[in-house]
């Protein structure tokens, strides 16, 4: 029987994340006064951020999103400026849409987005932040019920994307370290495609309890070679921010960096570089901002969602490549689109 290829489910995640983009728009117009501020003339990123009281993370979430919405643009001097469309969001423009968009300004999501932008995160973090374990504070990833909920919540996405990722990252005999591997599907699919290789799945212990169940299910799938994958996987519980990582030929960071702020990403790149053997490869599977920091809209909406739920945001490939170079890795120019607005980039450790 002929099986038609599955469609890219990106439209579903785009509609889901558009909600966070809408919250950014309302917060920018009605609670941060971005458009009135810029109506006096273009400002550099540091000047605009300072005037509005925004840290780097909220600024780098908000301004690329407003550019992707075609409301702001980077001018020739590298400053942020209103577009003709953006002028419709200033009170002196006749006509304007400030009254019309203002009908939604007290939407709870928009109000909370404004709070989070100004505070660089939620005011209350007593229960920890989703997908993040840092230091001694509480983490949902260490709570049996919450870590199961979050890990299984990612399972459908990983199931769909992991065969595409496995088909595109290097095939080689050796070892794969899947850091913060979650469900483990990326590991299992890569091992299926690399029948003589081994892998370590590194994550929090409560997460790995769920991954082990999913590996059992994968092994029993009846797919050729699936039953043998189990004996080639090592589960390693730990803290990727502090624990020593095992030496490896390939390291996969899938949906990992986007949960963390820039200084943590730089530190992680350095840790991952240290775990690679000479000639080893660091692969990143993520959604990337344009290097021009003006879109794509699907990714700026995703960045808004990540800004809301994690300590991170989406980054451009140029930002990743600067961390790789800072960790003495050689960034490659390769960019491979996968699906769901994701893609792969990678860097090599010199021999
Ligand atoms: C967004 S999920 C990505 C999971 C998987 N790579 C994927 O793409 O489906 C982030 C993962 O990072 C893990 N994580 C967060 N902080 C960690 C830490 N300090 N050490 C190890 N894993 C951590 C979480 O438990 C979670 O499984």
The pTM of this model reads 0.97
Burial 151-169 (b: 16+ CB within 10 A, else e): beeebebbebbbbbbbebb
The finding on whether 141 has its CB within 6 A of some atom of ligand 1 is yes
Q: How far is the CA of 150 from the centre of ligand 1 (A)?
A: 10
Ligand 1 atom nearest to CA at 157: 9
The finding on whether 240 has its CB within 6 A of some atom of ligand 1 is yes
The phi and psi torsions of 166 (rounded to 5 degrees) equal: -60, -30
Domains assigned to the chain? 10-119 (1.10.10.10), 140-292+309-348 (3.40.50.150)
Q: How far is the CA of 148 from the centre of ligand 1 (A)?
A: 12
CA angle 225, 173, 226 (to 5 degrees): 10
**pLDDT per position as a tens digit, 271-309:** 999 999 999 999 999 999 999 999 999 999 999 999 999
Rounded to 10 degrees, the C-alpha dihedral 331/333/338/340 comes to 80
Q: Hey, CA dihedral for 26, 31, 32, 36, is it positive or negative?
A: positive
Strand 72-74 with 315-316, pairing: unpaired
Structure tokens, 295: 């879109």
- Please count the other Cβ atoms lying within 10 Å of the Cβ belonging to residue 337: 12
CA neighbor of 69 nearest in space, from 92, 97, 106: 97
**pLDDT per position as a tens digit, 58-90:** 999 999 999 999 999 999 999 999 999 999 999
Structure tokens, 135: 């230091």
The finding on whether 129 has its CB within 6 A of some atom of ligand 1 is no
HSE of 26, CA atoms in CB hemisphere, 13 A: 23
Residue 124, pLDDT score: 86
The phi and psi torsions of 288 (rounded to 5 degrees) equal: -110, 135
The finding on whether 182 has its CB within 6 A of some atom of ligand 1 is yes
Ranges of the chain with pLDDT below 50:
none
The finding on whether 255 has its CB within 6 A of some atom of ligand 1 is yes
Residue 36, pLDDT score: 98
| 146, 189, 299 from 153: Cα distances, Å | 10, 19, 20
Q: How far is the CA of 96 from the centre of ligand 1 (A)?
A: 44
Strand 330-331 with 343-348, pairing: antiparallel
ipTM for the predicted complex comes to 0.99
Ligand 1 atom nearest to CA at 133: 16
The finding on whether 154 has its CB within 6 A of some atom of ligand 1 is yes
Residue 1, pLDDT score: 54
Residue 2, pLDDT score: 64
The finding on whether 241 has its CB within 6 A of some atom of ligand 1 is yes
């Amino acid at each position: 029987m002929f099986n038609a290829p599955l469609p890219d489910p990106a439209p579903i995640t785009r509609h889901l994340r558009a909600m966070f983009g809408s919250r950014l728009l309302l917060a920018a117009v009605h609670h941060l006064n971005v458009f009135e501020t810029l109506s006096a003339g273009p400002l550099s990123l540091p000047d605009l951020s300072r005037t509005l009281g925004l840290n780097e993370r909220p600024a780098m979430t908000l301004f690329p999103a407003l550019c992707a919405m075609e409301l702001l643009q980077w001018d020739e001097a590298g400053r942020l400026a209103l577009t003709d469309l953006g002028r419709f969001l200033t009170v002196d423009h006749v006509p304007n849409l400030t009254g019309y968009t203002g009908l939604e300004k007290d939407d709870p999501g928009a109000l909370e987005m404004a709070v989070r932008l100004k505070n660089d995160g939620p005011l209350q973090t007593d229960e920890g932040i989703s997908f993040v374990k840092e230091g001694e504070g509480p983490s949902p990833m260490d709570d049996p019920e919450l870590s199961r909920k979050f890990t299984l919540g990612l399972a459908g996405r990983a199931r769909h994307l992991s065969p595409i990722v496995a088909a595109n990252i290097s095939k080689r005999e050796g070892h794969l370290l899947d850091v913060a591997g979650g469900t483990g599907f990326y590991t299992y699919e890569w091992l299926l495609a690399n029948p003589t290789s081994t892998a370590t799945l590194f994550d929090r212990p409560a997460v790995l309890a769920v991954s082990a169940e999913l590996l059992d299910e994968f092994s029993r799938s009846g797919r050729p070679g699936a039953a043998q994958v189990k004996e080639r996987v090592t589960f390693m519980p730990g803290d990727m921010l502090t624990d020593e990582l095992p030496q490896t030929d390939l390291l996969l960071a899938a949906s990992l960096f986007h949960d963390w702020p820039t200084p943590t990403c730089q530190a992680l790149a350095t840790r991952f570089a240290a775990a690679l053997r000479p000639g080893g490869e660091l692969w990143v599977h993520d959604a990337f901002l344009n290097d021009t920091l003006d879109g794509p809209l699907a990714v700026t909406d995703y960045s808004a969602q990540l800004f809301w739920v994690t300590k991170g945001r989406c980054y451009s490939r140029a930002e990743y490549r600067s961390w790789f170079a800072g960790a003495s890795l050689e960034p490659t120019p390769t960019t491979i689109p996968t699906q769901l607005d994701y893609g792969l980039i990678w860097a090599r450790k010199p021999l």
